Amino acid sequence: MSVTYATTEELAAMQEQLTSNLSVVWILLNSINIMLMQTGFAMLEAGAVHRKHIKSILSKNLMDCAIGTLAWWGFGYSIFTMSNEFATNKTESFAGFFLMFAFAVTCGTIASGAVVGRLRFPTYMILAFFIIGCLYPLIAGWVWSEKGFLYGRYTDVAGGVVVHGVGGVCAFVAAALIGPRNDRFDGLGTGDVVVVPSPGNSPPLQVLGALLLFCAWFSFNGVSAGLGDAEGLNAASRAMVTTLLASSAAACVGLILVRSITGYYDLGVTFNCLLAGLVSVTGNCSLIDTWAAVLIGAISAPVFIWSDRFILYKLHVDDPISASALHGVVGIYGGLCTGVFHRTEGVIHGHGDLLLVQLWGTLLIVVVSGVSVFVVLQVLRLFSPKRKLTVSAEAQLLGMDFYYHDRDIIENLTAARIREFNVR
Amino acid sequence: MSVTYATTEELAAMQEQLTSNLSVVWILLNSINIMLMQTGFAMLEAGAVHRKHIKSILSKNLMDCAIGTLAWWGFGYSIFTMSNEFATNKTESFAGFFLMFAFAVTCGTIASGAVVGRLRFPTYMILAFFIIGCLYPLIAGWVWSEKGFLYGRYTDVAGGVVVHGVGGVCAFVAAALIGPRNDRFDGLGTGDVVVVPSPGNSPPLQVLGALLLFCAWFSFNGVSAGLGDAEGLNAASRAMVTTLLASSAAACVGLILVRSITGYYDLGVTFNCLLAGLVSVTGNCSLIDTWAAVLIGAISAPVFIWSDRFILYKLHVDDPISASALHGVVGIYGGLCTGVFHRTEGVIHGHGDLLLVQLWGTLLIVVVSGVSVFVVLQVLRLFSPKRKLTVSAEAQLLGMDFYYHDRDIIENLTAARIREFNVR
Amino acid sequence: MSVTYATTEELAAMQEQLTSNLSVVWILLNSINIMLMQTGFAMLEAGAVHRKHIKSILSKNLMDCAIGTLAWWGFGYSIFTMSNEFATNKTESFAGFFLMFAFAVTCGTIASGAVVGRLRFPTYMILAFFIIGCLYPLIAGWVWSEKGFLYGRYTDVAGGVVVHGVGGVCAFVAAALIGPRNDRFDGLGTGDVVVVPSPGNSPPLQVLGALLLFCAWFSFNGVSAGLGDAEGLNAASRAMVTTLLASSAAACVGLILVRSITGYYDLGVTFNCLLAGLVSVTGNCSLIDTWAAVLIGAISAPVFIWSDRFILYKLHVDDPISASALHGVVGIYGGLCTGVFHRTEGVIHGHGDLLLVQLWGTLLIVVVSGVSVFVVLQVLRLFSPKRKLTVSAEAQLLGMDFYYHDRDIIENLTAARIREFNVR
């Protein structure tokens, strides 16, 4: 019997093939986990709003994912890869298409909570369509596509700025531009403004949302840090541990801080600080030491708490789920931390170049995001009824659900009207 | 030092072994995700029913999985593989056993929502036992077992008909046979029937359930499309993208449709259309182009909405969570779409053979499912108290929970009775 | 062209490398699933307590994970591995660090529900810090670290005793030591004690929690049974199937038992029995036959039900979520089952040695856990206000939320006070 021997080339080819297969499994399963973030945001926001806006916020969370998919398929993915893959139908790119969509929709959904209780539903749909289909892919392409002009220079492992910073800036601009809910401030425009508390309707739903985000974040950061080879998986493992450490440190510091300020172990601040810790290491998770993760996370708590209060009490911008501070400010803070705490190129190791790139890169991204959302919303205003982006005062008072989402209103109708409805 | 060289055979054997290992990891992790569908169904249904039946529907969802496991272990898996693996104890088949059970229990649990609020608990248990242990494995064996007479002919990638079609048909037959809830129709039997609205008790729970199903569905379709080799993972990647596209298109179309019909952005219709899109591509996810996925999903929305209304308003069948239309009608529709949009053998490419097989295959599966559930329920009726499958009018009025599930009733008892209870 | 051939050594090295990569993917993805248990416990407990303690229990669930992370990073992992990896910063161990933390925090969080409604928040934080950072790593190190004196002798695949037994014993000792909630027993201290019912506030949240735990448990047991080689994955597959069988058998038996005792299909007992089945096979999941899993699970139901009643009605220990019986008693029961039903070394195959080791090993673990928690709590009592571990009677009556967690209390304040608050 004749025996054939395997060449080293065949061996290498096989290794590459099997590693590629493992990478695809790693990408697909993590993508599913990241899609779970949609559930997380939906629950977090549904628990945080007034009971009368629940169906409205749930509809927005469902539909920005749906409409975002079509935008991503139609042209978003093509903009991101700077190629011609409109309405892509190619087999090779499907895993990447799915993974990158999971990031895009996370960016797009961040604004939904900031505009709850007043932004018109069709306007929000167009805004989400624009963010997921145009703005996010443009910026993500700059940083992560090989043809992007920031590629290889600006450092953002999993999208601390590209995903969360952009989403947070969009949330802030939208919330500022459309104005607060009618019942959020008392005496607005006078020198004597009172912030009226706006408690959520369900702490368990909020924590459910926060913890689903927490779990999904490990996939978010892990799959960004590396793929299925030894080096990539080492980076992914490190990313997951730093993610865990930063969020835990942030929650501990936030709890102590809020206790010292208000006298209470405030649940909302605690889980928001947990999320702030997650945002703060998203851009640098695989590039830092564990002690740096603890430090970055610990500082993210006061960064979140003070910026959130500043936005609410000084700027009088009404952001019901604190997305501006949580994803925007903390995202930017995390982007700069990358330049400071990078294990080889950070300021702590005597290198300032990276921090400089992080500074102007982040600034550029923030300005482009903010300006473009501003322009889009101003244009949308022109086409809105009465040139207003918000619903009527009556709809705000009685609830978006009752006005726009509630077929169950027929519950209250007489039998005669029900009969009419049935006839249709 | 003497050196031994590796033969190409050894190389190939290693590749096969490592690919097999990756496939097992892929199967097991996806199976866990698919099991999450049990949580999804439980939350969706718990949010959709009247508050007085919550414990009842949660008990049914918990127990159909539990009793289904024992049926699957005892003989279901053996029927499915058409082998002698009763109460299987063999190591090789465990991953497959687990994966295929996750599909079986999905099929079995679909009927639970359709019979809520009136079917007796033990009767439902026996029905679930029959579907998971006998009916589903029989039909799945026909299509997916190498010995099955439809194997290699009838095409159903992930069970659009085999899982969802069968489940939906069972739901419809059961809902029709046991009759509506007492308070669902006014004037039934006369020519002038009014459908009384039956709103859910918690929109967030419903959306939580729908989104958990949405996430788990990627595993459901992905793992069915292919295993851990390059070709399999390509198919899986395609399957996940088409799944995303179809569900998103369906949600968008459904939202617009219901807005034009009722004037509201109806939340319930929206997420049900999202699920309809998922059902519609389940059978063909890895076999179609992306544009076809968008089209199939888009059409699934009106298919769902009209069939759901037809079943309720014309047939006067009371299916509280629309399982008949959602899984049954849309499942069948998806099975036919496979014959139309298949990338190589579809009608759109000039081949009619596949569609013909899909037609008679689907018909056969629907008839066998419907008839067998009809027979089982009629037999169960003979052994039921007063020959009725449903609970008493009083139990329907005051709630299944109060009558059958509520040990907490003792909450309302006097101290004397509590003492008695303690003594027991 | 010269051709180089691959040596068998190179082939073996590659196989090892690729298997190692697959193992890391397997570990990381399962770890994320296991972290989902935190969500499960939080929802289960939030649904089980009185509405007035919801924020309190949610805060405890969030923060034990956060503070536990820091303890694990600082010294817990170092104690567990019996090495010098304080505040570990090494790349090789990150995947293991993450996986083992997921187990540690599961152990630590079990006690949170047992002490709900009365234990002071800072005291609980220190207790969680101690369990996750000191007690659990010590015991886990004994059994699972190569240097541990029980390593290779005491058998506990996934922590039936090491995780759940330890957590359950801590829960029992804590619940007994701090005493019952004020409104749990009537006539305590007299010979005529009445147990006052304490129903949960949300069955859907409880079932959501139980089902998330159910899903995560497959990862918990699977990843413990084996890693990414053929043999390991065979063991993992078997572990998942036995996990499924045991939990299902337990739920079925529990349902029938409670029906025969109380006359109701009690939802709470049903899902607790499902969880009891999961606990009972955690230690032996990959080492037993499928029929043994069914038997172990079936028996775990009465073990749980009777021990839970004994603890409540005879010992008058108030454990609101039955953690003592569920994780403690059933965990110990499962540890002994390992010695009885082991496929090669069990009593059923005529070997008694393993059972003997299981007996004294379990006893040792239980005693060390119980005594150390007792000591820690007694020391903490010395430093507590008025030497009491519990909050005041008034705080128990009005709710922990109102007293300690509720910044939303300002909702009820006058505008004047709100202004004051804003000034801060």
Average pLDDT value for chain A: 91
Residue type at position A362: T
Rounded Cα distance between B169 and B368, Å, is: 10
A37 CB within 8 Å of a chain C CB: no
Please state, in angstroms and rounded to a whole number, the distance separating the CA atoms of residues B93 and C97.
32
For tokens 């076809």, name the residue: B292
Classify residue A279: in a domain, yes or no: yes
Axis-axis angle for helices C8-48, A230-262 (nearest 10): 20
Q: What is the pLDDT of residues B309-349, one digit of tens each?
A: 999 999 999 999 999 999 999 999 999 999 999 999 999 99
Instruction: Answer whether residue B417 shows pLDDT above 60.
Output: no
Residues belonging to chain A: 424
Give the C-alpha separation, B406 to B420, whole Å: 17
Q: What is the mean pLDDT of residues B143-153?
A: 94
Chains in touch with A (3+ beta-carbon pairs under 8 Å) read B, C
Q: Is the dihedral of CA C103, C105, C108, C112 positive or negative?
A: negative
Q: Is A31 on the interface with B (CB under 8 A)?
A: yes
Q: Which two tokens stand for residue B386?
A: 């007063």
- Residues forming beta bridges with residue A186, ordered by sequence position: A194
The structural domain count of chain C equals 1
Residue type, B67: I
Nearest to C301 by CA among C321, C324, C275: C275
B211 contacts in A (CB within 8 Å)?
38-39, 42, 62
- Find the mean pLDDT for residues B81-87: 81
b (16+ CB within 10 A) / e for B62-99? bbbbbbbbbbbbebbbbbbbeeebeebbeeebbbbbbb
| pLDDT per position as a tens digit, A149-201 | 999 999 999 999 999 999 999 999 999 999 999 888 888 878 788 888 888 89
Query: Which residues of chain C make contact with A269, given a CB cutoff of 8 A?
Result: 407
pLDDT in tens, chain C (424 residues): 578 899 999 999 999 999 999 999 999 999 999 999 999 999 999 999 998 999 999 999 999 999 999 999 999 999 999 887 777 777 778 999 999 999 999 999 998 889 998 999 999 999 999 999 999 999 999 999 999 999 999 999 999 999 999 999 999 999 999 999 988 888 887 878 888 888 889 999 999 999 999 999 999 999 999 999 999 999 999 999 999 999 999 999 999 999 998 889 999 999 999 999 999 999 999 999 999 999 999 999 999 999 999 999 999 999 999 999 999 999 999 999 999 999 999 999 999 999 999 999 999 999 999 999 999 999 999 999 899 999 998 888 888 888 888 755 444 444 444 445 444 4
Smallest CA–CA distance from B59 into chain C, residue:
C267
The complex's ipTM works out to: 0.95
Angle at C9 between CA C3 and CA C12, to 5 degrees: 115
- Contact (CB<8Å) A35/B214: yes
Confirm if C201 and C47 have CB atoms less than 8 A apart.
Answer: yes
Flag whether B418 is in a domain.
no
Q: How far apart are CA B73 and CA B78, in angstroms?
A: 8
Classify residue B263: in a domain, yes or no.
yes
Q: Say yes or no to pLDDT of A86 above 80.
A: no
Is the pLDDT assigned to residue B374 strictly greater than 80? yes
* Mean pLDDT along residues B58-73: 95
Gap between the Cα atoms of A55 and A400, Å rounded = 8
User: For residues C396 and C118, is the Cβ–Cβ distance under 8 A?
Assistant: yes
Q: Which two tokens stand for residue A110?
A: 């961040």
Closest chain B CA to residue C309 = B422
CA dihedral B309, B313, B319, B320 (to 10 degrees): 80
Backbone angles phi, psi at C188, to 5 degrees: -65, 140
Q: Is B89–C290 a contact, with Cβ atoms under 8 angstroms apart?
A: yes
Parallel/antiparallel/unpaired status of strands A194-195 and C185-186: unpaired
Query: How high is the pLDDT of residue B412?
Result: 43
Question: Which pLDDT belongs to residue C284?
Answer: 95
Closest-CA distance, B160 to chain C, in angstroms, reads 24
Testing the interface with C: which of A10, A264, A306, A312 to mutate, by most C Cβ within 10 A? Answer: A264
- The four Cα atoms C402, C405, C407, C410 give a dihedral, to 10 degrees, of 10
What is the DSSP pairing of strand B185-186 with strand A194-195?
A: unpaired
C240 contacts B62? CB cut-off 8 A? no
Question: Do the beta carbons of residue B227 and residue B27 sit within 8 Å?
Answer: yes
| pLDDT computed for residue A187 by the predictor | 81
Give A8's contacts in chain B (Cβ within 8 Å).
Answer: none
Q: Would residue A4 be called left, alpha or beta, if left means φ above 0 and alpha means ψ between -120 and 50 degrees? A: beta
Residue A375 and residue A50: Cα distance in Å, rounded? 29
Q: How far is CA A408 from CA B181, B201, B286, B362, C242, in A?
A: 19, 11, 38, 36, 45
- Model pLDDT, residue B408: 54
Instruction: Please give the pLDDT value at position A90.
Output: 74
Query: Pick from B25, B17, B89: which is nearest to C236 by CA?
Result: B25
- Specify the DSSP class assigned to residue C424: -
Q: What are phi and psi of A308, to 5 degrees?
A: -65, -45
Residues with Cβ < 8 Å from C21, sequence gap 6 or more?
Answer: A19, A22, A228, A229, A230, A233, C228
Q: What is the pLDDT of residues A287-318, one digit of tens each?
A: 999 999 999 999 999 999 999 999 999 999 99
Say if A410 falls within a structural domain: no
Q: For the domain that residue C199 is a member of, what is the CATH number?
A: 1.10.3430.10
Span B290-312, mean pLDDT?
A: 96
The per-residue pLDDT for C407 is 57
Phi, psi at A158, each rounded to 5°: -120, 10
B156 is written with which tokens? 């159903």
Note down the domain range covering C312: 17-401
Q: Which pLDDT band holds residue A424 (cuts at 50, 70, 90)?
A: very low
Position C8 in a domain: no
Closest partner residue to B7 (CB to CB) among A5, A58, A68 is: A5
Residue C271: its chain B contacts at CB < 8 A?
62
Write out the two tokens for B362: 């689907």
| CB-count burial class (<10 Å; 0-12, 13-18, 19+) for C299 | buried
What is the average per-residue pLDDT within B288-311? 96
Q: Can you give the pLDDT at residue C1?
A: 57
Terminal Cα distance for chain A, rounded: 80
DSSP state of A312: I
Domain assignment of residue B13, yes or no: no
pLDDT at A252: 97
Q: How far apart are CA C395 and CA C53, in angstroms?
A: 10
**Which residues make beta-bridge pairs with B195?**
B185
Residue A88's pLDDT band (boundaries 50, 70, 90)? confident
Overall average pLDDT of the B84-101 stretch: 84
Asked if the structure places residue B7 within a domain, the reply is no
- The closest alpha carbon to C396, from C196, C112, C180, belongs to C180
Question: Going by C-beta distance under 8 Å and a sequence separation of 6 or more, which residues neighbour residue A362?
Answer: A161, A165, A332, A335, A336
Chain A residue numbers with beta carbons less than 8 Å from the beta carbon of C411 are: 197, 199
User: According to DSSP H, which parts of B283-392 are helical?
Assistant: 290-309, 323, 330-341, 353-382
Enumerate residues 166 to 225 of chain B having a beta carbon within 8 A of any beta carbon in chain A: 186, 194-197, 199, 203-204, 207-208, 210-212, 214-215, 218-219, 222
pLDDT of residue B421: 46
pLDDT at B407: 56
For C131-165, where are the alpha helices, taking DSSP H only? 136-144
User: Which pairing describes strands A185-186 and A194-195: parallel, antiparallel, or unpaired?
Assistant: antiparallel
Domain for residue C166, yes or no?
yes
Other CB atoms within 10 Å distance of the CB of residue B1: 2
Contacts of A68 in chain B (CB under 8 A): 248
C18 close to B (CB below 8 A): yes
Q: Tell me: the pLDDT tens digits for B35-54?
A: 999 999 999 999 999 989 99
- Given this model, what pLDDT does residue A408 score? 54
- Give the phi and the psi of residue B319 in degrees, each rounded to 5: -120, 95
Closest Cβ opposite residue C21 in set A29, A228, A267: A228
Note whether C245 contacts B70, CB cutoff 8 Å. yes
Pairs of CB atoms within 8 A across A/C: 187
Phi-psi label, residue B322: left if phi above 0, alpha if psi -120 to 50, beta otherwise: left
Spatial contact of C214 and A213, defined as CB atoms under 8 Å apart: no
Output the pLDDT for position B411.
44
Instruction: Please name every residue paired with C195 in a beta bridge, in sequence order, or none if there are none.
Output: C185
Chains that touch B (3 or more CB pairs under 8 A): A, C
| C353 CB burial (10 A radius; 0-12, 13-18, 19+) | exposed
Element (H, E) at A217: helix A203-225
CA atoms within 13 A on the CB side of C252: 23
Place of tokens 């939350």: B43
